[in-house]
Structure 1
Amino acid sequence: MAVSDLSNTAQDYLKLIWSSQEWPGQHATVKSLAAQLGVAVSTVSDSLKRLDEQGLITHAPYRSIELTERGRRYAISMVRRHRLIETFLVRELGYGWDEVHDEAEVLEHAVSDNMIERIDEKLGHPTRDPHGDPIPSADGDPHLPDAVRLSDLPDGAAGVVVRISDDDPDILRYLDELGLGLDHPVTVVRNRDFAGTVSVRVGEPASTVERELGMPAARAIWVTAGA
């Protein structure tokens, strides 16, 4: 069975389950899937039951949701489609990084495997999408960088931004206004977890600009680990 033989709903669930568990400290639950999909918890439970019956996941009530090897292959194929389309929209069609997620959600179900491989070739086989999320290779290698959330770094820690979550377009637009994006060096000036803010210096030491971020924005930013 090709991934295109699955229903759009099954494709969405498999992609979301894999993406939700991709980065350290993240996991998929019935409630989190319901929130991300904008549907009732009961709807998610019914859909997971069908995926379990199809041999694509394993899930028992109140237990973790796990992809089977077959389900993982399909999930990675959908993630690859989504992220390549996002990259194509930004690089070739001039979309903003805050605009591409919803467009890719629609297009990923319509394009053929052949078109995805042509997009990949056209783009020069990119390894990450506009938000820094790794684009899995055709064989399923996700190229996951060693990174941690900016919100978890102590005072004085430094690194380079390698990923910014695209869960909230408003945060992406806000970071654009601050001039904070992928590959920018950052140094934590003060992590005020008690106050819900993180002050950071952006840029090289000789030309740094200090910015204060709220915790939702700081949690959306991932930087090189151990910097």
Structure 2
Amino acid sequence: MSPDRHSESVENYLKTIFLLAERWEGSVGVSALAERLGVSSPSASGMVRKLVEAGLVDHARYAGITLTPSGRESALAVVRRHRLIEMFLVTELDLAWDEVHEEAEALEHAVSDRLLDRIDDRLGHPRYDPHGDPIPGRDGRMPEVRARRLPELKFGEGGELVRVDDTDPEVLRYLDAHDVRLGDRVDLLTRKPFDGPFVVRLRRGDAADRTAADAEEEWGPSLARALWVGADEPA
């Protein structure tokens, strides 16, 4: 059974707290929450107090924000709607992967549970969205993603590109322009000095429409942090 729905503002806060905790594996600070939502810190603090009163989050003094069980359940429901909508827009309506995030942001609050279940059935119950993000199941269970951000790899490690941060469409457009796709093999070779770019070997898939199969690329820190690699073995 789906949890009770909240206002669009509350849903956005719960989802954002979940996503920040998912990305950084810990509690979430008010300043990070405010920055991600594009609001002032006082505004974010005020909403967090309301969420605490509603039993949706915990926030101890000088500590981060964490979702309560009911808050997590509600957040997962929003995340599920968002990621299924993104998958539908890409696979059924042929939108590009850099176009669907904003559309899903609006539609996730309007789609009914019945329609969402039909979308899920139509898509064959996908486990991951177009950016490699896991899609919570109807029971709230989250598929596992065994991956690390590219900068967390040691030199010589590599694996399949399994996930891309979708918050910056410029990153997605850059990857498209340079023919980098989920499923490609990425090996971290080295890093240029003075916090320079990461040097990687990119091994593209063998689809007929691909450019040169293997290439050495230099990716800046912000791009590298947006990429998750399923590390498996030294290159």
- The TM-score with structure 2 as length reference comes to 0.91
Aligned partners of 1:66, 1:154: CA distance in 2, in Å?
31
CA offsets, 1:79-116, max 9 Å, x none?
00000001111111111111111110100011101111
Tell me the equivalent position of 1:218. Answer: 224
Aligned partners of 2:198, 2:97: CA distance in 1, in Å?
23
Q: Which amino acid aligns with 2:175?
A: L
Q: Which amino acid aligns with 1:111?
A: V
Given the alignment of the two structures, is residue 175 of structure 1 paired with residue 175 of structure 2, yes or no? yes
CA offsets, 1:3-46, max 9 Å, x none?
56311111111111111111454652211111111110011000
The unaligned stretches of length 5 or more in structure 1 are none
Cα-Cα RMSD = 1.9
Q: Which amino acid aligns with 1:217?
A: L
Contact between 2:158 and 2:231, CA under 8 Å: does it hold in 1?
no
Shift of 1:221: 0.3
Tell me the equivalent position of 1:74. Answer: 74
Structure 1 pair 82–193 and aligned structure 2 pair: CA distance change class (3 A) = farther
Given the alignment of the two structures, is residue 38 of structure 1 paired with residue 28 of structure 2, yes or no? no
Tell me the equivalent position of 1:87. Answer: 87
Given the alignment of the two structures, is residue 208 of structure 1 paired with residue 214 of structure 2, yes or no? yes
Q: Which amino acid aligns with 1:216?
A: S
Aligned partners of 2:204, 2:118: CA distance in 1, in Å?
38
Count matched residues.
227
Shift of 1:194: 3.0
Contact between 2:163 and 2:227, CA under 8 Å: does it hold in 1?
yes
**1:1-227 maps to which residues of 2 (within 5 A)?**
3=3, 5-25=5-25, 27-192=27-192, 194-203=194-203, 207-227=213-233
Contact between 1:153 and 1:191, CA under 8 Å: does it hold in 2?
no
Contact between 1:192 and 1:198, CA under 8 Å: does it hold in 2?
yes
SS at match of 1:28: coil
The unaligned stretches of length 5 or more in structure 2 are 206-211
Tell me the equivalent position of 2:209. Answer: none
Aligned partners of 1:216, 1:80: CA distance in 2, in Å?
27
SS at match of 2:22: coil
